[in-house]
Amino acid sequence: MPGLAAGKVALVTGAASGIGRASAALFAREGAKVMLTDRDEAAGKLVAADLRSQGGDTLFRAADVTDEAAVEALVAATVSVWGRLDAAHNNAGIMGAVGVLPDLSLEDWRRVIDANLTSMFLCMKHELRVMQKAGRGAIVNTSSAAGVVGTPALAAYTASKHGLLGLTKVAALENAGTGVRVNAILPGAVDTPLLRALMDASEGAERAVREGQPGGRLGTPEEIAEAAVWLCSDRARFVSGASLAVDAAAICR
């Protein structure tokens, strides 16, 4: 049977590691041609080469998705190579400084908002222009369980992920008649380099993270990728504006 993404062209940001890498790999296995991007050029090229060695039709282009000119060029390059853009998983983001709100510097605040929210605006802006013209497409934005619940010591991260859900809903409503769907996924605690760095930063951090997950198990990047690729597939053609929790019920309490 054809894969979930057979015949599609997909763009994945933050693809050098973690959820982005898993998403790019799954898109490729499910039959898509995939453009990977990340600021980490060396790691991104290795991921794309590895996927090609497994039969994937993949390319890598380094880009800073907080830079509008870079995002516009990235989308244009994808269309130039494959002639279309059918799916986008906007996944790049950072955790930012850990600490209570009064200790958060304006510089750290702006850095997280730019990386996690402004970048999503820029990616959607240029992806939507291409998809609207074609009359088809699906976008998935990586938010977080912190997009719907407060997360102490991560004020900027929490605010950026809450804001992304609002941005996703607006884009979904604006495109209800264009053939383009826009959704968000809300991962819980997932075993990625980003979370590992947070857990290793202080004694007891990993225990606290695991205690926040029902059953104590961390998710895997591959489990989050499954949701992203499904939402971009034609099997989810009536799903738009959704905020899909992929968190083992962590935010149900």
Is 247 in contact with 188 (CB distance < 8 Å)? yes
Q: Write out the two tokens for 62.
A: 């380094």
CB 185 within 8 A of CB 142: yes
CB 89 within 8 A of CB 11: yes
- What span, in angstroms and rounded, lies between the C-alpha atoms of 216 and 121? 34
Find tokens 């104590």 and name the residue.
216
Residue 186 near residue 251, CB atoms below 8 Å: yes
Q: Coil, helix or strand for 81?
A: helix
Question: Is residue 228 within a helix (H) or strand (E), and if so which, with residue range?
Answer: helix 221-232
State the Cα torsion 35-68-86-173 to the nearest 10°: 150
Q: Please, are residues 94 and 116 in contact by the beta-carbon 8 Å criterion?
A: yes
Strand-pair category, 243-246 with 180-187 = parallel
Please pick, among 157, 192, 224, 236, the residue that the annotation labels catalytic: 157
Cα angle 253, 196, 221; round to 5: 70
Give the span between the Cα atoms of 131 and 114, in whole angstroms.
Answer: 24
Q: Is 157 one of the annotated active-site residues of the chain?
A: yes
Which residues are marked as active site?
A: 157
